[in-house]
Copies of this chain bind each other. A is one copy, B any other.
Amino acid sequence: MATQFGDRIRELRTKQKMLLRHVASQLDVDTSIISKIERGDRPIKKEQIAVLAEILKADKTELETLWLADQLMQLVKDEPTADEALKTVSKKIKKSK
């Protein structure tokens, strides 16, 4: 299943005409891993996001936000009460600030 994060990093990579192996070698993993991450087949590890942002000259915060949204989405999809749960969390977050 496609992810916002994966779509975005693929876009960033291809626009710069970088190959999977360029990214892969800098992230120190096999190209297949990057391929899968871009296609949403595998999750990326949180620590890798910052490195990836550097490699792609992208905004770290943007990528982290997309990644977080993907995580949340996976958790709430198919949940009938997703709406309510999201709401209460939002409120709690705001209070703790």
Contact = CB atoms under 8 A, between A and B. Distances in A.
Size category of the A interface is 20 to 34
SS of A interface (majority): helix
A93 B76 contact: yes
Contacts of A65: 81, 84-85
A71 B75 contact: yes
Copies of this chain, count: 2
Interface in A51-91: 61, 64-65, 68-69, 71-73, 75-77, 79-90
A31 B92 CA distance: 31
A94 interface: yes
Q: Which of A72, A76, A88 has the most CB of B within 10 A?
A: A72
B72 A68 contact: no
A87 to B, nearest CB: 8
